Each structure stands twice: as structure tokens, then as C-alpha cells.
Structure 1
Amino acid sequence: MRSKLDNFLGKDRKLRSWPAKRSNQRIVVEYLSTNFTEGVEYTEAEINEIIKENHTFNDHCFLRRELVENRLLGRTGDGSRYWKLPLPADENHAEQ
């Protein structure tokens, strides 16, 4: 069975498009957040590289902001360090 997430991924499982519906956007950023490890601090350059490796529409800055705004990544005030925030148990939609 095809999931909502599959509508936005290519055969390589990379994000190929940004959904119009907010509920689907959440599913997509949760999926993207699975490429980061809790307990690890990342530089902005490392975050950008991981995002670039996992999407095909060439807008890593937008996706990084979405990850932060959706509270999937935390960051320092100056943006020099990032880390993965845990998903609340009742909000794990990436598998749908």
C-alpha cells in the first residue's frame, strides 16, 4: 500500500517535492528528520550536507528552516550548532 509520504519521494527515497497541505508537510519533515541522530551536535554545514543528500529540488535552506520551525531540530541562537529533538510519541507520522 502506498503511503502519503510516497507521493513526495522519488524511487531513491529522496524528497522530490514539497507538499501543499500542512499535514503532509509535517509528514515530510518528520521523514527528513530521520536522517539525524539524537544526541549528536551538528554544524550548519553538516545539516546542509545531510539535507542536500536527501532531497532533489535544491532548497536545503528552506528545509533546514522547516526542520527547526517544526521543532524537529534545535539550534543555538547564532545557528552554529544544531541537534535532533525527540518526537513526542503521539506525533510520529513519518511511517504513515
Structure 2
Amino acid sequence: MEAATLVGLLADETRLKVVAALALGAGTIEQVAAAAGLPLKDVALAARRLSRSGLVSRDGHALTLHAERFGAAARAAAESAPPPTPLSDDPAEDAVLQAFVRDGRLVSIPAQRSKQLVVLRHLAAVFEPGVRYPEREVNALLAVWHPDVAALRRYLVDDGFLSRESGEYWRSGGYVDV
């Protein structure tokens, strides 16, 4: 079963409640109805649809959830997903960035110094060389990445990626693409 089909089946609230009741140990239509707080008719209709898809087996009033199909669908989806776009040409740096950057956001600031420098080098690329930025703009650019803009700003300055004077910041370190 494809992950999209599985999600589509569970997008219906009644079918989701039936699957949840089965996962929690209900074994008959009556037990599912009681556990899910649903009318028997609704459970029977949902069970029929889940049975046609192969997610549930039905033997009279007895229902069996095939929970292993969730894992199989997840594995199939993961195998068919395109590989992540590299964030760096250097495989070691890319591995660090893939661990800390999700969907264009920094999920956490690395504690390990070497990893933190890789992330800061990546963030420094947001700032154009030769352009002076007021603190408010620096905060806005960093907020796209992570909510703790003060920490990121401080790390970028302390580690020489940005310089600061009279409330203005400019890029003073990191790599520049030419």
C-alpha cells in the first residue's frame, strides 16, 4: 500500500478512530464502536472500506488491523523520495548541515564547536559582502533561520563572520562564491 493511499484512508475521522481503536486492542465491531464512541453502522462502513484496502481483515464481526502495513508504506515512501539537495559541496560539511537544517531552518544551534562553525559559515552566506546592515535587518534575516537571533548574531560576530560598529553589521568572514 502506498503512503498516499494510507494517508487518504486515515484522513476520514471515522476510519481514523476505527484504526485507533483496533491499534489499542479492540477486536470486534462492537468493541471498536464502544472504544471509538461511534455508531455500529459507521464502524461497519469504515471497516468495509479499510478491509477493501487491505489495512484491516474482517471475519464476521471480528476485525484485525494489519499495522505492519504502516511501516511498509513508510519504507516505500522513504525509498522513493528524492535524495536531499546538498547544502555544501564538501561531504563532511553537508552531513553537518543536513543534521541541523530542515526545510531552510536551523533546528538547533550545534553545541560542538566544529559543527557550530560549519553552520555559522553557512549562515554567513546570507549576508552580501560589502553591504552594511542595520541590526533590525540582521535580526530579520536570522529570524528566517532560527528564533534565537541574538545568539546567532553574537556567534557570527564573535567568530569573525560579521563585524559590528555603531549599530551596523557587515560580512567580514566565511567563503564568498565567485
- What range is the shorter-chain TM-score in? 0.7 to 0.9
Higher relative contact order (CA closer than 8 Å, sequence separation 6+): 1
Listed as ranges, the gaps of 5+ residues in structure 2 are 1-90
Residue in 1 that maps onto 2:152: 63
The normalised TM-score by structure 1 is 0.79
Letter in 2 for 1:61: A
Percent of matched pairs sharing the same residue? 36
The CA deviation at 1:85 is 0.8
Matched, 1:26 2:84: no
Q: Which one has a larger percent strand, Structure 1 or Structure 2?
A: 2
Larger radius of gyration: 2
Matched, 1:4 2:93: no
Q: Distance in 2 between matches of 1:42 and 1:72?
A: 14
Matched, 1:84 2:171: yes
Q: Distance in 1 between matches of 2:126 and 2:160?
A: 15
The number of residues matched between the two structures is 83
- 1:42-84 CA-to-partner distances (Å, cap 9, x unmatched) read 00000000000122xx2100100000001000010x4x11100
Displaced runs of 4 or more, over 3 A: none
Q: Distance in 1 between matches of 2:97 and 2:118?
A: 7
Q: Distance in 2 between matches of 1:28 and 1:4?
A: 8
Q: Which one has a larger percent helix, Structure 1 or Structure 2?
A: 2
CA RMSD of aligned residues (A): 1.5
Letter in 2 for 1:70: D
Q: Contact 2:124–2:173 (CA<8 Å) still a contact in 1? A: no
Residue in 2 that maps onto 1:35: 126
